[in-house]
Structure 1
Amino acid sequence: MADYFNWIKAAHVISMVCWFAAIFYLPRLFVYHAMSDDGISQERFTIMERKLYRGIMTPSMIATWLFGLWMLTLGWDVYKTQGWLHAKLVLVVLLSGYHGACGFYRKKLIDNPHYKSHTFWRWFNEVPVLILIAVVTLVIVKPF
C-alpha cells in the first residue's frame, strides 16, 4: 500500500475519536436538558447541543467517513474479502443513523425540553458504547 496509508489511518482514528467523544456527550446534554426546568438553562443546553452537533460531531463524522473510504479505495483488493470489515461498515452505517437521530432529537428538544424523560436519554446514550465495543473488537481481533 501507499507510504501515506498510515497517515490516512491516523487521521481516520483521530476523527473517529472526536466523533465518538461528541456522540457520547450530546445525549448526556439531552439528559440535563430534559431535567432542566428554567428557560435560561434550556436555552443554554439548546446552544451547547447545536454547537456540539454542528461544530464537532458532524464534521468529525464526515472526516471519519472520508478517511475510511480513502483507505478502502487504497486497499480494496485486500479489504473486499474481509468479513470483519463488512460487519464494521454495517455498524458505522448504524452509528451514522444514530447520529442522524441525535440531530432529529436535538431539534425536538428545542420546542419541548421534556420531549423524552432523562431516563430515556440515559439509555439512549448507551447505544454508541455498544457500537464502539463491537467496532474496536472487529478491527483489532478480526474474528472473521
Structure 2
Amino acid sequence: MDLGFLAGWYPWTKSLHLLSVFAWMAGLFYLPRLYVYHTPAEPGSAQSELFKVMERRLLRGIMNPAMISAWIFGTTLVLTPGVVDWSAGWWHGKLAGLLGMTWFHHHLSAARKEFAADGRRRTERYWRAVNEVPTVLLVLIVVMVIVKPF
C-alpha cells in the first residue's frame, strides 16, 4: 500500500497531533490535582459531588478524545514516509514514554471510577507524588523527539 499521499498532509497531521497532545497533557496534569483536593472531601458532601462532576467531564470530555486523537494523528505521522528513521533508537524511548502516558491515563480513569463510588484507597500524598509522572514522561518524550540522543 502506497502511503506517499500522507506526505502532503504532514503539516496538518503534525499540527493536529500537537494540539491533541497539548490537550491530553493538560488533563494529565490537572486530574491528579483534582484528586488531591477530592481525597479529603467528605464522601457524599456537596464538595465531593462537585469534584465528581469536574473529574468526569475532564476525563470524558477532554482527556479521552485528546488521547485518542493523539494516537490517531501520531500513528498517521509514523506511517508517513520519511518521518521516522527506523534504524535510529530514539523512537524506542518515545514509544516507552507514550505507553507510560497511556498507562497513567488509564490509572487515572480507574481512580475516577473509585472516587465516583466514594472510594478513597489512595492518600492525598500519593496523588501529590504521582502528579509529577506526566512531567517526567513529557520530558522523556520531548528529548527523544527533538534531541534524538540515540
* Superposition TM-score tier, normalisation by shorter sequence: over 0.9
Distance 2:139 2:101 in 1: 12
Q: Does residue 18 of the first structure (1) align with residue 23 of the second (2)? A: yes
Identity of aligned residues (%): 38
Report the equivalent of 1:33: 38
Report the equivalent of 2:97: 91
Give the structure-2-normalised TM-score: 0.90
Distance 2:126 2:83 in 1: 43
By percentage of residues, which structure has more helix? 1
Q: Is the 8 A contact 1:22 1:57 kept in 2?
A: yes
Following superposition of structure 1 onto structure 2, how do residues 64-79 of structure 1 map, counting pairs within 5 Å? Answer: 64-75=70-81, 78-79=84-85
Q: Does residue 42 of the first structure (1) align with residue 48 of the second (2)? A: yes
Report the equivalent of 1:127: 133
Distance 2:114 2:60 in 1: 16
Superimposed CA distance per residue, residues 75-131 of structure 1 (whole angstroms, 9 cap, x where no aligned partner):
368432231112101210111011001110111112235322111100011111100
Q: Is the 8 A contact 1:33 1:113 kept in 2?
A: no
Distance 1:78 1:92 in 2: 16
Q: Is the 8 A contact 2:33 2:131 kept in 1?
A: yes
Report the equivalent of 1:8: 13
Distance 1:56 1:37 in 2: 26
Q: Give the aligned length.
A: 144
